[in-house]
A and B are shown apart, each in its own frame.
Chain A
Amino acid sequence: MIAPNSLFEATPAAAQTDAPGAPRLESSKGMPEQTGAFSDASSDVVEQSRSLERGFFVSTKRDTFLAFRSKGEVIQALVFFVMVVSLFPLAIGAETVLLKRIAPGVVWVAALLSVLLTLPRLFASDYLDGTLEQMLLSPFPLTLIVAGKMAAHWLTTGLPLALIAPLLGLQFGLGGDELAVLVISLLLGTPILSMLGAVGAALTLGVRGGSVLVALLILPLYIPVLIFGAGAVEAVASGIDYGANLSLLGAGLLFGALATPFAVAAAVKISLD
Chain B
Amino acid sequence: MNLYKYASPATFYPLAGKLIPWFAALAVVFGLIGLYLGLIVAPEDAQQGQVYRIIFIHVPTAWVGMVVYLVMAAYGVAALTLKTRLSSMMMEALAPTGALFTALALLTGALWGKPTWGTYWIWDARMTSTLILLFLYVGYIALIHAIEDKKRADKAGALLVIVGSVNVPIIYFSVRWWNTLHQGASVSVTGSKMAAVMAQGMLVMALACWMYAIAVVLVRVRAIILERQYKGANDMVGLSMGARGMAGTEMTGTEMMGTK
Chain A residues within 8 Å of B, Cβ to Cβ: 196, 199, 203-204, 207-210, 213, 216-217, 219-221, 223-224, 227-228, 231, 234-235, 248, 252, 259, 263, 266-267, 270-271, 273
Contact = CB atoms under 8 A, between A and B. Distances in A.
B117 interface: no
B170 A207 contact: no
A267 B156 contact: yes
Contacts of B152: 270-271, 273
B163 A263 contact: yes
B179 to A, nearest CB: 10
15 contacts: A196-B163, A199-B160, A203-B159, A207-B147, A216-B143, A217-B142, A221-B164, A223-B174, A224-B174, A228-B174, A234-B181, A235-B181, A270-B156, A273-B151, A273-B155
Interface size class of B (residues with CB under 8 A): 20 to 34
Given A219-B135, A223-B132, A263 B159 contact: yes
Given A199-B163, A267-B156, A273-B152, A216 B175 contact: no
B87 to A, nearest CB: 15
B136 interface: yes
B146 interface: yes
Nearest to A260: B163
Interface in B168-207: 170-171, 174-175, 177-178, 181
Given A270-B155, A273-B155, A217 B139 contact: yes
Interface in B152-168: 152, 155-156, 159-160, 163-164, 166-167
A220 B136 contact: yes
Given A220-B135, A263-B159, A270-B152, A203 B143 contact: yes
Closest 7 CB pairs of A and B: A224-B174, A220-B135, A217-B139, A270-B155, A227-B178, A227-B174, A216-B139
Contact of A220 (B146, B159, B171, B181): B171
Interface in B61-107: 80
Main secondary structure of the interface of B (DSSP, over half): helix
Given A267-B156, A270-B155, A271-B156, A221 B142 contact: no
Nearest to B173: A224
A231 B151 contact: no
A224 B171 contact: yes
Contacts of A259: 166
B142 A216 contact: yes
Nearest to B158: A270
B41 interface: no
B159 A270 contact: yes
Given A207-B147, A217-B139, A221-B163, 17 more contacts: A203-B156, A213-B142, A213-B143, A216-B142, A217-B142, A217-B143, A217-B160, A220-B132, A221-B171, A223-B174, A231-B178, A234-B181, A267-B156, A270-B152, A270-B156, A270-B159, A273-B155
B138 interface: yes
Given A209-B146, A213-B146, A270-B152, A231 B181 contact: yes
Contacts of B170: 224, 252
Contacts of B164: 220-221
Contact of A207 (B139, B146, B171, B181): B146
A14 to B, nearest CB: 28
Contact of B146 (A208, A219, A221): A208
A208 B139 CA distance: 15
Q: Give the interface centre of A204, A208, A221, A231 by most chain B CB atoms within 10 Å.
A: A221
A217 B135 CA distance: 8
A271 B155 CA distance: 9
A266 B79 CA distance: 13
Contacts of A207: 146-147
Contacts of B163: 196, 199, 221, 263
B14 to A, nearest CB: 31
B61 to A, nearest CB: 20
Contacts of A231: 177-178, 181
B138 A216 contact: yes
Contacts of B132: 220, 223
Nearest to A228: B174
A173 B211 CA distance: 56
A248 B175 CA distance: 13
